[in-house]
Structures are given as structure tokens and as C-alpha cells.
């Protein structure tokens, strides 16, 4: 009968077999690499080809990254331009409204009363005169902060 081997002995044999297989695999890979490098022009040529591939890959990555940044920059610039345009339009519309208000000053007392309501015997002949008299710009009827109802 065979004596069973102790676990430490079995582990040692397994390690020896495993390391032997690893060294055998490394030797066969080394032989294959040597054969390939000799066939393609030597180790220097293989390194040269590999470095060329690395440079090409890095160039592609840089190009893609640059294109992405450029697109992002364009979108940001378009958003800023649109915001500036909206601000310009708002300013132009407010300037237009204020200039319309100034140009619309009534020519007759009837027009004045229709637009701003009754105002005693002496009605202001211009916007500036109104501001001087009342201390504020004129408001049309119904434009004031009055909600439209009164308590009797």
C-alpha cells in the first residue's frame, strides 16, 4: 500500500509542476516573439512600428478631444450671442415704448382728458410739464396700481 503524501508535499509538487508549465509557456512565447521580430526586420523595427501606432492613436484621441471642445465652445458662444441679442431686443423695445410715450402727447385738451382723465383747468402741454407739475411720469387711465374696485 502506498502511503498518502502529507498536504505540504502535495502542495510542493503542485507548485513545481505549475512553475514548470509557466516557464515552458514563457519560453515558447519568447521563441515566437523572436521569430516574428526577425521576420519583420528585427527588434528595432518592431519598436519603431509600435511607437508609430502609439503616436497615431494619441493623435486620434487629441483630434477627437479637440473637436469636442470646439463644438462645446461653439454652443456656448451661440448661447451667449442669443442672450445678448435678447437683451438688445428688450432694450430696443423699452426704448421704443418710451419714445412712443413721449411722441404720443395729446395735442388737444379733449385728447388729454380721454387719455389721462380730467385735470382741472390747466392741463400740461408736454410730458416734461406734467412731470414738473406732478413729480412723476404720466400714466394712462387704468395703468395705475389700482386693482379696479373701490370701497364705497
Domain residues for the domain of 85 are 45-102
Q: What is the pLDDT of residue 147?
A: 55
Structural domain total, the chain:
3
Overall pTM surpassing 0.85 (yes/no): no
4 domain-assigned: no
Same domain, 59 and 94: yes
Same domain, 68 and 92: yes
Same domain, 97 and 136: no
Positions of the chain with pLDDT lower than 70, given as ranges: 1-3, 40, 43, 95-103, 120-121, 139-152
Whether 86 and 92 have beta carbons less than 8 Å apart is answered as: no
The span from the CA of 55 to the CA of 76, in Å, is 31
52 domain-assigned: yes
Per-residue exposure over 89-100, b if at least 16 CB sit within 10 Å of its own CB, e if not: eeeeeeeeeeee
The span from the CA of 54 to the CA of 133, in Å, is 82
Q: What is the pLDDT of residue 9?
A: 87
- Retrieve residue 29's grid coordinates: 512565447
Same domain, 50 and 95: yes
Q: What is the pLDDT of residue 108?
A: 78
Same domain, 82 and 128: no
The span from the CA of 38 to the CA of 34, in Å, is 6
Amino acid at each position: 500500500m502506498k502511503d498518502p503524501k502529507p498536504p505540504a508535499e502535495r502542495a510542493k509538487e503542485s507548485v513545481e509542476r505549475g512553475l514548470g508549465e509557466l516557464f515552458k509557456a514563457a519560453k515558447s512565447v519568447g521563441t515566437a516573439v523572436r521569430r516574428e521580430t526577425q521576420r519583420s526586420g528585427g527588434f528595432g523595427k518592431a519598436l519603431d512600428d509600435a511607437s508609430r501606432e502609439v503616436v497615431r492613436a494619441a493623435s486620434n484621441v487629441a483630434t477627437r478631444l479637440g473637436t469636442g471642445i470646439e463644438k462645446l465652445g461653439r454652443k456656448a458662444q451661440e448661447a451667449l450671442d442669443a442672450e445678448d441679442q435678447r437683451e438688445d431686443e428688450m432694450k430696443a423695445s423699452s426704448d421704443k415704448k418710451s419714445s412712443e410715450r413721449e411722441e404720443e402727447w395729446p395735442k388737444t385738451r379733449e385728447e388729454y382728458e380721454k387719455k389721462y382723465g380730467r385735470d382741472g383747468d390747466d392741463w400740461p402741454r408736454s410730458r416734461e410739464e406734467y412731470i414738473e407739475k406732478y413729480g412723476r411720469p404720466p400714466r394712462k387711465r387704468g395703468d395705475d396700481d389700482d386693482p379696479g374696485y373701490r370701497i364705497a
